[in-house]
Amino acid sequence: PNRFFGVFEDGEMKVRGLACRRRDTPPLVKSFQEEALALLSRARNRRAYQEVLHSQVKKLKEDYIQALKDHRVPIDALKITKVITKAPQEYTRATATALVSSQLADMGIDLHPGEAIEYVVVNSEEKVGPWKVVPVSMYRGEGYDVGYYVGLIEEGWREITK
């Protein structure tokens, strides 16, 4: 009940709880879901909805995934924004937020709870270490974890197809 989308008769869309509404969703995933929902919003019955979903929206998903695999996605479209809840030295687990806030603190950036940080996932398979994620401000072309971002697109797809 807290994740849904719908279209009113006047064409206005209502979206709640999906990735495109969350603050920590990368712009690429937001864009995918928004484009998909715009396509789906034109369907006027269940049959048309299914046709659009399995043709146009599926093709859209495949195009986004191919762009990731071809490394045609700019880093700004992949950045994840999180609000830190603690000072960098207070984190006890090596979460992405902890790693990024620690990297920024090591660079002399003074961070406080409530501030937003932005990062790119470069190696989601790495368990611990600074090369799992890189702050956007420190990114120097290290590449990005294609599989991780493909997974986010797939999750965005599942949200609108279940």
pLDDT at 137: 92
Residues of the chain where predicted confidence (pLDDT) is lower than 50: none
Give the separation between CA 120 and CA 149, rounded to whole angstroms: 10
pLDDT at 55: 96
pLDDT at 16: 85
pLDDT at 128: 61
pLDDT at 150: 98
pLDDT at 12: 82
State the pairing for strand pair 13-16/80-83: unpaired
pLDDT at 56: 97
Give the separation between CA 110 and CA 119, rounded to whole angstroms: 16
pLDDT at 10: 79
Give the separation between CA 64 and CA 9, rounded to whole angstroms: 30
11: left (phi > 0), else alpha (psi -120 to 50), else beta?
left
In this structure, the number of other CB atoms found within 10 A of the CB of residue 3 comes to: 13
Torsion of CA 54, 55, 61, 64, to 10 degrees: 180
Tell me the residue type at 155.
Answer: E
pLDDT at 59: 98
Q: What is the pTM of this model?
A: 0.90
pLDDT at 126: 72
